[in-house]
């Protein structure tokens, strides 16, 4: 009995001595992942939540969490137990100095390496030791009897090992105390599996919305598909991740410079795809992909955002003037002016449609196509939209009209009264005329917009104007097919 007790005490002593040494690093990689979620914000920012099943010992642990983003913001990292265990973080290091042949050579300066030469005729390998003196622009090697400044060709270097701080991939190493159960009296401090989650903010993940619209033959409706374009340059992959997108401008204390935009090929129209689920989150909007997806490193991926058919649109030909010529005498103000072409629609669900529009639209580019007489879709213009709330109007500028032109001139100028020494002020009465020509085979309506500064009064006009705001007059001028129309007006302005 005494011998058995002595044996037990001896075993406990051995186990305690083994545990008193240096903490052994445990490594965790993507193979241990149990769940992965990525939330991407506007402005090169993402939140990663990486859940893994990791073996931990009770007490201090040194854990190397591999396969993190190379652009992680280490100060935002948060490790927590999904099993409710208490974790006390003592230290963490982000090891971004990755292992490469050049890095290994630089870390070996002052150390001895084995230089192996290959004899091309006999095939015999000859090796000798040398000290690495420098590894800046090439390598300098000191042998027992000489110094060489180039590697043997053919030949190679053999290193005794790899420095501990050089990692083959981005790694976050963490030293922490864990309160986890131990497996029995004689199991010592053997590790047990625990569910952990590491969350952190990172750069290198961006998203933007792209929209593809196909205009109907009568140009009164369109089919609209929305896509999300994801770009991953963070230095790691995100396999089978739950993807969420935040639309809105999140305030950041020190915003990073946005990466240069990447060129993306125009997308062809596709069949209707399931829309992403949308919900409000604080003062932003959250879009959730209803399936898991994989984001490979250095990859651009597109996923469906929305699909809407037969969206009502209005077409507008618009000529805008300037307020500068109402205070002076000018004469001709433009020959062959081209109206801008706009398409306008309201972000609302069409009657009888179960899905489509009527959700907040993230900012992005809308590309518009129309089929020609042979049924081939042709690109007719694009414009950028801002974040657009439900019920708001979207106006797209697609280009200039080809078959509609206008000549504009000032026909009269009178200074009714002057104000002090300001020769451009006072009360001014001035008149204008615009001839609009339409070479199309159907009639059109041209919108003429004139910004007028100061206090103004319309004295005469050939068409009734609409006062949209205090300093804007607007006319809707019908122009017959292959004909022309004349718009004239006289206004008195007090500056």
pLDDT in tens, 163-202: 766 676 788 999 999 988 776 545 556 788 999 999 999 9
Q: Are residues 308 and 372 in the same domain?
A: yes
Q: Are residues 480 and 426 in the same domain?
A: yes
CATH code, 475: 2.60.40.290
Q: Are residues 198 and 112 in the same domain?
A: no
Q: Are residues 211 and 196 in the same domain?
A: no
Q: Are residues 212 and 273 in the same domain?
A: yes
pLDDT of residue 275: 56
Tell me the whole-structure pTM to 2 decimals: 0.70
Q: Provide the number of structural domains found in the chain.
A: 4
Could you report the per-residue pLDDT of 427-460, keeping only the tens digit for each? 999 999 999 999 999 999 999 999 998 899 999 9
Residues 6+ positions from 494 with CB-CB distance below 8 Å: 426, 427, 428, 454, 455, 456
Strand order in the sheet with 25-28: 25-28, 59-66, 171-178, 87-95
Residue 41 forms part of a structural domain: yes
Q: How far apart are CA 347 and CA 394, in angstroms?
A: 7
Q: Are residues 107 and 74 in the same domain?
A: no
Q: What does the pLDDT average to over 360-387?
A: 93
Q: Are residues 423 and 296 in the same domain?
A: no
Residues 6+ positions from 20 with CB-CB distance below 8 Å: none
Residue 7 forms part of a structural domain: no
Q: Are residues 151 and 235 in the same domain?
A: no
Q: Are residues 136 and 235 in the same domain?
A: no
Could you report the per-residue pLDDT of 188-242, keeping only the tens digit for each? 567 889 999 999 999 999 999 999 999 999 999 999 999 999 999 999 999 999 9
Round the CA-based radius of gyration of the chain to a whole number and report it: 36
Q: Mean pLDDT over all residues of the chain?
A: 85
- Enclosing domain of residue 186: 21-97+167-202
Among 378, 399, 420, residue at a domain's last position: 399
Q: Are residues 293 and 429 in the same domain?
A: no
């Amino acid at each position: 009995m005494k011998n058995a007790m002595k044996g037990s005490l001896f075993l406990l002593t051995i186990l305690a001595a083994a545990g008193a040494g240096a903490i052994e690093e445990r490594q965790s990689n993507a193979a241990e992942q149990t769940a992965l979620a990525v939330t991407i914000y506007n402005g090169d920012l993402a939140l990663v939540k990486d859940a893994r099943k990791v073996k931990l010992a009770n007490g201090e642990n040194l854990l190397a969490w591999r396969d993190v983003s190379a652009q992680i913001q280490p100060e935002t990292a948060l490790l927590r137990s999904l099993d409710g265990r208490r974790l006390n973080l003592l230290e963490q290091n982000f090891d971004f100095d990755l292992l490469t042949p050049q890095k290994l050579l630089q870390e070996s300066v002052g150390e001895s390496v084995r230089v192996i030469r290959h004899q091309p005729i006999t095939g015999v390998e000859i090796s000798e030791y040398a000290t690495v003196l420098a590894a800046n622009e090439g390598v300098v090697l000191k042998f027992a009897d000489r110094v060489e400044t180039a590697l043997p060709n053919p030949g190679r270097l053999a290193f005794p090992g790899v420095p501990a701080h050089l990692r083959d991939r981005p790694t976050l190493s963490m030293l922490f105390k864990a309160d986890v159960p131990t497996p029995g009296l004689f199991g010592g401090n053997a590790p047990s599996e625990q569910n952990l989650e590491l969350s952190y903010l990172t750069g290198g993940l961006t998203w933007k919305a792209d929209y593809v619209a196909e205009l109907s033959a009568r140009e009164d409706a369109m089919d609209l598909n929305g896509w999300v374009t994801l770009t991953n340059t963070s230095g790691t992959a995100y396999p089978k991740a739950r993807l969420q997108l935040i639309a809105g401008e999140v305030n950041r204390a020190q915003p990073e410079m946005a990466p240069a935009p990447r060129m993306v090929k125009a997308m062809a129209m596709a069949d209707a795809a399931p829309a992403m689920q949308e919900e409000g989150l604080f003062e932003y909007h959250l879009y959730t992909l209803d399936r898991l997806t994989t984001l490979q490193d250095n990859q651009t991926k597109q996923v469906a955002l929305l699909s809407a058919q037969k969206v009502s649109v209005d077409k507008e030909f618009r000529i805008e003037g300037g307020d500068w010529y109402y205070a002076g005498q000018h004469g001709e103000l433009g020959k062959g002016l081209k109206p801008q072409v706009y398409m306008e629609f309201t972000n609302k669900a069409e009657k009888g449609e179960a899905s489509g529009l009527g959700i907040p639209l993230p900012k992005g580019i809308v590309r518009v196509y129309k089929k020609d007489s042979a049924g081939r879709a042709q690109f007719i213009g694009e414009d950028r939209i801002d974040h657009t709330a439900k019920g708001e109007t979207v106006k797209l500028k697609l280009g200039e009209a080809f078959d509609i032109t206008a000549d504009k001139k000032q026909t009269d100028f009178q200074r009714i009264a002057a104000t002090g020494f300001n020769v451009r002020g006072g009360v001014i009465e001035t008149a204008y005329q615009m001839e609009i020509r339409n070479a199309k085979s159907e009639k059109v309506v041209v919108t003429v917009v004139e910004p007028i500064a100061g206090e103004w009064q319309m004295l005469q006009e050939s068409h009734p104007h609409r006062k949209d705001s205090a300093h804007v007059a607007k006319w809707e001028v019908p122009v017959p097919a292959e004909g022309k129309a004349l718009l004239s007006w006289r206004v008195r302005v007090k500056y």
